[in-house]
């Protein structure tokens, strides 16, 4: 217990100093507010038809205590009506080319808005080469780089791409918009959010992004422990100690600590999966060979629901993930220097340390998140 408190104090002190010198470059707001002129410019004669209600994000206590506010773009404030529309769109297969696949087909609530298969499969039965990333706490991605390879620069952009991807929903935006425009309900729902019945792809992506910003996970057993609500087991506490120790788990460099409730740095690393790369990851986006083999650090939250693991779903179990960092690291030109035990193949954890680390990692899973009725199909 004393060791855990010492870690929390030390890293909270570091975080306070760090946050004073590195502010996010994106505009942030703690409370979404409606536009200063709520009348849609395309419909100036009906000001009463467009008055969306500001939506207050349910920010967990530890988030408010330790980290910066979420990123809410000024041109897409979160509203009650917008979240409801985005939720409906997220679960509706109307956006796909043949009307069979929705966003939730690859990002299902029971899997923390991820998937249980190795690769995502589109409407034509074609598999991709990546495992769908779980979706939660996206509003705290201050660098605004999304997907495993960082190719989208906002949640809106992240929501935009799958509709037209030929191996995903395989539609065109004109066709998707036409389906929505001819729908009995959608034109009026868009009018309530954006002040116009003229639907376009930008408004669709904005609505989905509003819903995705509400997908907040912050009520795991470890959160409850830090909030003084429950006690952890001795094995879970020891697992945290393994996680934090540089000569044992050495996990905190990329995944944070008790003062970082995101459990990710939201950056890109080559974590020693391969000596050569069939998927360049970030390097394919930036064109910089120094970025080859780098992928976004996933959050360690909700690991109980998000198997298989890694960008390509190569590890079926959490034990395999732990074994990789313990004795399975592969060297390559861009491997992250934070992997200090690379030449030994990994940190060489004992059987007891592996079991403890797994116990701690599972304590970061949030059952209330995957069962939240507000996050299910409407």
Domain positions in the chain: 2-16+218-369
Q: Which residue, among 225, 235, 245, has the nearest Cα to 355 in the 3D structure?
A: 235
Cα–Cα distance measured from residue 96 to residue 172, given in angstroms and rounded to the nearest whole number: 9
Q: Which pair of structure tokens corresponds to residue 178?
A: 């036409």
192-219 burial by CB neighbour count: b if 16+ within 10 A, else e? bbbbbbebbbebbbbbbbbbbbbbbbbb
Mean pLDDT of 2-6: 51
Catalytic residue selected from 81, 115, 168, 236: 168
pLDDT tens digits along 101-115:
999 999 999 999 999
Helix 201-213 and helix 80-91: axis angle, to 10°?
100
Q: Which residue, among 193, 135, 64, has the nearest Cα to 375 in the 3D structure?
A: 135
- What percent of the chain is modeled with pLDDT above 70? 87
Q: Which residue, among 86, 190, 192, has the nearest Cα to 138 in the 3D structure?
A: 86
For the chain, what is the mean pLDDT?
90
User: How much is the pLDDT for 367?
Assistant: 98
pLDDT tens digits along 237-292:
999 999 999 999 999 999 999 999 999 999 999 999 999 999 999 999 999 999 99
1.10.760.10, 1.25.40.80, 3.40.50.300, 1.10.3720.10: CATH of 2-16+218-369: 1.10.760.10
The pLDDT of residue 44 is above 60: no
The pLDDT of residue 21 is above 50: no
Q: Which residue, among 321, 326, 320, has the nearest Cα to 346 in the 3D structure?
A: 326
User: How much is the pLDDT for 49?
Assistant: 60
Q: Is 320 a catalytic residue?
A: no
135-163 burial by CB neighbour count: b if 16+ within 10 A, else e? bbbbbbbbbbbbbbbbebebbbebbbebb
User: How much is the pLDDT for 284?
Assistant: 98
Cα–Cα distance measured from residue 211 to residue 375, given in angstroms and rounded to the nearest whole number: 9
Mean pLDDT of 6-30: 40
Residue listed under structure tokens 């970082």: 260
Cα–Cα distance measured from residue 365 to residue 355, given in angstroms and rounded to the nearest whole number: 16
Cα–Cα distance measured from residue 342 to residue 338, given in angstroms and rounded to the nearest whole number: 9
User: How much is the pLDDT for 50?
Assistant: 80
What would you report as the CA-atom Rg of the chain, rounded to the nearest whole angstrom?
A: 22
Q: How confident is the model at residue 359 (pLDDT cuts 50, 70, 90)?
A: very high
User: How much is the pLDDT for 133?
Assistant: 97
> Taking a C-beta distance cutoff of 8 angstroms, is the pair 309, 301 a contact?
no
Q: How confident is the model at residue 17 (pLDDT cuts 50, 70, 90)?
A: very low
Which stretch of DSSP H or E encloses residue 295? strand 295-296
């Amino acid at each position: 217990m004393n060791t855990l408190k010492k870690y929390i104090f030390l890293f909270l002190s570091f975080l306070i100093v760090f946050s004073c010198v590195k502010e996010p470059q994106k505009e942030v707001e703690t409370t979404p507010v409606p536009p200063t002129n709520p009348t849609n410019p395309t419909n100036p004669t009906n000001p009463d038809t467009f008055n969306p209600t500001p939506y207050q994000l349910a920010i967990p206590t530890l988030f408010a205590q330790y980290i910066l506010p979420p990123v809410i773009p000024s041109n897409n404030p979160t509203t009650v009506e917008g979240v409801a529309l985005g939720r409906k769109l997220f679960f509706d297969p109307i956006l796909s080319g043949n009307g069979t696949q929705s966003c939730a087909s690859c990002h299902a609530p029971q899997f923390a808005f991820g998937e249980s298969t190795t690769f995502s499969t589109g409407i034509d039965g074609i598999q991709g080469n990546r495992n769908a990333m779980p979706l939660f706490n996206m509003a705290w991605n201050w660098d605004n780089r999304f997907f495993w390879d960082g190719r989208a620069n906002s949640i809106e952009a992240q929501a935009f791409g799958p509709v037209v991807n030929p191996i995903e929903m395989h539609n065109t935006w004109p066709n998707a918009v036409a389906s929505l425009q001819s729908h009995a309900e959608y034109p009026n729902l868009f009018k309530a959010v954006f002040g116009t019945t003229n639907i376009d792809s930008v408004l669709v992506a904005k609505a989905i992004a509003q819903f995705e910003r509400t997908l907040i996970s912050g009520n795991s057993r470890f959160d409850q422990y830090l909030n003084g609500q429950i006690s952890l087991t001795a094995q879970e506490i020891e697992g945290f100690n393994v996680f934090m120790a540089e000569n044992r788990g050495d996990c905190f460099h990329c995944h944070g600590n008790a003062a970082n409730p995101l459990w990710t740095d939201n950056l890109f690393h080559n974590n020693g999966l391969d000596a050569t790369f069939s998927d360049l990851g970030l390097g394919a986006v930036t064109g910089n060979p120094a970025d080859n083999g780098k992928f976004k650090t996933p959050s360690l939250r909700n690991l109980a629901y998000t198997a298989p693991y890694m960008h390509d779903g190569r590890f079926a179990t959490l034990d395999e993930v732990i074994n990789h960092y313990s004795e399975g690291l592969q060297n390559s030109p861009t491997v992250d220097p934070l992997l200090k035990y690379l030449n030994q193949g990994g940190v060489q954890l004992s059987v007891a340390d592996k079991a403890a680390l797994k116990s701690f990692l599972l304590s970061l899973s949030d059952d209330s998140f995957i069962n939240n009725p507000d996050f299910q199909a409407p």
